Amino acid sequence: MTASILDGKRVAAEIRAEVAADVARLAGEGITPDLDVVLVGEDPASHVYVNAKANAARSVGIRETTHRYPRDLDQGALLATIDRLNADSSVDAILVQLPLPKHIDTARVLESIDPAKDADGFHPVNVGRLVQGKPAPVPCTPAGILELLVREGVEIAGKRAVVVGRSDIVGKPMATLLLKADATVTIAHSKTRDLPGVCREADILIVALGRAGFVTGEYVKPGAVVVDVGINRVSRREDVERFFPGDAVRLAEWEKKGSTLVGDCDPSSVPEQASRLTPVPGGVGPLTIARLLFNTVQLARARR
C-alpha cells in the first residue's frame, strides 16, 4: 500500500478563504478583527512561525501587530504588556509565541491572558470549557487536524484513535476533540508500554512526540489513517539518505539549505502501511495557521 495524501494545504486554503469572507462581512459592520502576537527572544524557528502567522493574518484582512522583545525581558514587563493588551478594546486576540525563555513562568503568562482574547485557547478557563463541550477557542493544531479529518471524509465516530504525545498544546486537546467526535481514544506517551502494539490498534493514529522519523511502519495497522504532527529539522546527510532513500529532490534541498524537515513518522516505511497520511511539510503546519485566523475572527465576533 502507498498512502494517499491528506491534503493539509488544500484544507487550510479552504479555511482561509472562509475566514477572509467572514472578515469581509465584519468589515461591512465596521469591525476589523485584531490579532496581537507577543514574541520574546531570538529563537529562529519562532521568528519563522510568527512571520508566517503575521503574513497569513494580513492576507485575510486581519489587523496584526507583532510585539518583539529581547530574550532577557523580565516576567513583570511581559505581564504588564499582556495587561495592556487585555485592557485595549481594539485588541481581539492575543497570542504569546512559545517556547518562552526559561526564566519566565509560561503557565503564569498564559493564565494572564484574558480568556475572551485567548487566540491559542491555552487559558485554563478555555481548556475547561473545551473539556466540558462548551464554546471556547480551540488550540489551533488539534483543531486544524480535526478539520482536516472531517473535510477529507475520514470517518471518526466509533473508530479507535491513538494519540502519541500528551502535551497541553497538541496531545491532550487532540484527544479531547476526537472523544467529542465519538472516537474511542487512547493517549500514549513516553511511559507507555509496548508503544508499537498500542499504535497498531489505531484506525486513526496521531503522532506528536517531537522525534524525527520515530514512528515506523511497524507501528501502523495496515490501512490506518496517520496524521504526522512533528516538525523536525535534520541536517546530517546519513539521516536524509535514511529517511528519503533515492529521493533526489530532498537530497538537493539538503545540499542547498544544509537541512530538511522530517515529521515524527518515518517517511520511508509509514506510507507502505497507512491508507492516508499527512505530508511534512505541507500537512499540519498550514492548518495550524488557518485555525489561528479562524479563532481570531471568532473572538472578534464574540467580543463585539
Pick the stretch among 36-44, 160-168, 196-204, 251-259 that binds ligand NDP (CB under 6 A): 160-168
List 43, 101, 200, 210, residue binding ligand NDP (CB under 6 A) = 210
Nearest alpha carbon to residue 200 among 182, 183, 186, 190? 186
- In this structure, are residues 113 and 82 in contact, taking their beta carbons and an 8 Å threshold? yes
Told to check if 225 binds ligand NDP by CB under 6 A, we report no
Burial code of 134-148, b = ≥16 C-beta within 10 A, e = fewer? eebbbbbbbbbbbbb
Preceding omega of 33 cis (within 30 degrees of 0): no
Told to check if 139 binds ligand NDP by CB under 6 A, we report no
Is 132 a known active-site residue? no
Alpha-carbon distances of 234 from 20, 49, 86, rounded to whole Å: 35, 18, 39
Nearer to ligand NDP, 89 or 190 (CB): 190
List 141, 275, 295, 296, residue binding ligand NDP (CB under 6 A) = 141
Is 159 a known active-site residue? no
Told to check if 230 binds ligand NDP by CB under 6 A, we report yes
Applying CB under 6 A, the site for ligand NDP has a residue count of 26
- Return the C-alpha cell found at 297: 475572527
How many C-beta neighbours within 10 Å does residue 258 have?
10
Q: Residue 280 class from Cβ within 10 Å (0-12 exposed, 13-18 middle, 19+ buried)? A: buried
Nearest alpha carbon to residue 101 among 46, 54, 49? 46
Say how far apart CA 291 and CA 281 lie, in whole Å: 17
Pick the stretch among 53-61, 84-92, 248-256, 284-292 that binds ligand NDP (CB under 6 A): 284-292
Told to check if 277 binds ligand NDP by CB under 6 A, we report no
CB of 32 to ligand NDP, least distance (A): 26
Q: Residue 48 class from Cβ within 10 Å (0-12 exposed, 13-18 middle, 19+ buried)? A: exposed
* Site track 238-267 with ligand NDP (rule: CB under 6 A), x = hit: --------------------------x---
Is 97 a known active-site residue? yes
Pick the stretch among 12-20, 123-131, 147-155, 184-192 that binds ligand NDP (CB under 6 A): 184-192
Query: Strands, E, within 111-254: which ranges?
Result: 160-164, 184-188, 204-207, 225-228, 232-234
Say which of 97, 117, 172, 228 is annotated catalytic: 97
Told to check if 233 binds ligand NDP by CB under 6 A, we report no
Told to check if 95 binds ligand NDP by CB under 6 A, we report no
Q: Residues in the site for ligand NDP, rule: CB under 6 A?
A: 141, 164-167, 169-171, 188-192, 195, 208-211, 229-232, 264, 284-285, 288
Active site members:
53, 97, 120
